[in-house]
Amino acid sequence: MASGPAVGERWGMRAENLPPGHAAWDLEARYLASGFLPFVHVLATERIVLGGGLGSAPGLIELVREHLARRLGGYAPRLDERGAMDAFIVPPGLGGDAGLLGAAALALPGS
């Protein structure tokens, strides 16, 4: 549902070719926010790192934060505090290389 290939099939073009403000980004943000709800309610997750191809799309993280805040409807007061949602859904600290660097770290002896 929320992946580069799914976006390509649904909209007939690769995700990276969709302009900011395209309806696809709002739809993907809604899908992701819906998927994150159990992480808030059931697992009490402290942080969600949104990476990958879609995660790096300009403005997507902000849209996901907005949709998740609406979907929560006040049921997670800790995320209602100013700046809390910005600290809850974050991009990977290592950027687009996070997966590659993580795999390399796992391949090191003793890891």
User: pLDDT over 70 for what percent of the chain?
Assistant: 98
- CB within 8 Å of 37: residues ≥ 6 apart: 68, 71, 72
- Res 94: pLDDT: 82
Question: Apex CA 101: angle with CA 111 and CA 43, to 5°?
Answer: 75
Q: Is the model's pLDDT at 1 over the cut of 70?
A: no
Domain residue limits at 34? 4-107
Q: Is the model's pLDDT at 31 over the cut of 80?
A: yes
User: With a threshold of 0.75, does the pTM exceed it?
Assistant: yes
Confidence band of 64 (pLDDT split at 50, 70, 90): very high
Residues in the chain: 111
Average pLDDT over residues 7-35: 92
The domain spanning residue 79 has which CATH number?
3.30.420.40
How many structural domains compose the chain?
Answer: 1
